[in-house]
Amino acid sequence: MSTLPPLPAQPAGTPWPTVAWPTGDLPATLDRRRFGAHLDKGFSAFVETHAVVIVQGGRLIYERYGPDHGPDKTCMSWSMAKSITHALAGILVGDGRLDVEAPADVPEWREPGDPRGAITLDQLLRMSSGLEFSEVYEPDKPSDTIAMMWGDGKDDVAHYAADKPLAHEPDCFWSYSSGTTNIVARALARAIDAYGPDFHAFMRERLFAPLGMASPIPKFDLAGTFIGSSFCFCTARDFARFGLLYLRDGVWEGRQLLPDTWADYARIPTWQQEGVTEGRYGAHWWLDLAGPGTFSANGHEGQFIVLVPELDLIVVRNGKTPTELKDELKAWVAETVGLFR
């Protein structure tokens, strides 16, 4: 952990945004003309950009919204919800209810001799479980993601994913999987015996309310499992609040809401086999999107919460951008951060 860039503390005299975001100005060193042209591109070149929110030094310094969107309009999380699931896991680890190094609590794997029974929560959070799962978003191709959320698995997403066989030995192959996140989400519910509305109450009490996040709308399946892979609608400002919790090392208003090593755990690189093209990964957070030391919550169709410790910067982008523009959008997000360097 000593090689990780330090996470900045909330500047003295800057209020926490629990009630409302304190505001500030764009840096005097920022090239305003270039920045304006860059943001114009962001709202014109990627089909739909719904929101861009930028926070620096704990203050909201820029926000812009697309048509029919604004500060009070909730946006899709898609897979940014995975990072919210990571936070909920951290809370229960801090409570002593979970051990990331222990085998995950998965009923489908309890038969004696089932090799899946050795899969740990850590391996699930790092996408290294070895479970078979086809993370495909095109409806004309075989897809476990689509089947799990809208097909045969939609009533019990965790069971659909947990019923998959091993494709590789655990901890020997990295493969991004929404299924593993939903297995984690059910393990969290089992740890506190709370499902559906009861688990939602836990989310509000332990995570959302302390941060002042009033907008989150998490979705649950019929089994009462939070669909932590994909569905937690929030305003862009609330996504920025969530990002600030991690940029502040799990501290909020002087309270350690997450274990004091949990944000570091999220950004410790996971081993990935040669040939992985999606990018570096930590534990339910992506790494290096906007340069070394940055980490981010990324979602389908171009949802991002990008954290930049060296600049004490957060960039949130929400929208609806097709897959074929994914790489160009990632480059745009990285360049947004680069303008502040």
Q: Which of 6-10, 37-41, 137-141, 324-328 has the lowest mean pLDDT?
A: 137-141
- Please state whether beta strands 48-56 and 59-65 pair in parallel, antiparallel, or not at all (unpaired): antiparallel
Three-state secondary structure call for residue 27: coil
Q: How do residues 10-43 score in pLDDT, each as one tens digit?
A: 999 999 999 999 999 999 999 999 999 999 999 9
pTM beyond cutoff 0.85: yes
Q: How far lies 146's CA from each of 94, 187, 202, 210, in Å?
A: 33, 22, 28, 34
Q: How do residues 57-107 score in pLDDT, each as one tens digit?
A: 999 999 999 999 999 999 999 999 999 999 999 999 999 999 999 999 999
CA angle 334, 310, 259 (to 5 degrees): 105
Mean pLDDT of the chain: 97
Token couple for 78: 């898609």
Q: How far lies 120's CA from each of 26, 109, 172, 192, in Å?
A: 44, 12, 13, 18
Kindly write down the DSSP assignment for every residue of 212-252, as one continuous string.
Answer: T----EE-B-TTS-B-TTT-EEB-HHHHHHHHHHHHTTTEE
Q: Could you tell me the residue ranges of all domains in the chain?
A: 32-338
pLDDT exceeds 50 at position 1 = no
Give the position of tokens 């954290």.
307
Spelled out in words, what is the top-level CATH class assigned to the domain 32-338? alpha beta
Give the pLDDT score at 141: 87
pLDDT exceeds 50 at position 137 = yes
Give the position of tokens 């040939």.
275
Q: For the chain, give the longest Cα–Cα distance.
A: 65
Q: How do residues 240-292 score in pLDDT, each as one tens digit?
A: 999 999 999 999 999 999 999 999 999 999 999 999 999 999 999 999 999 99
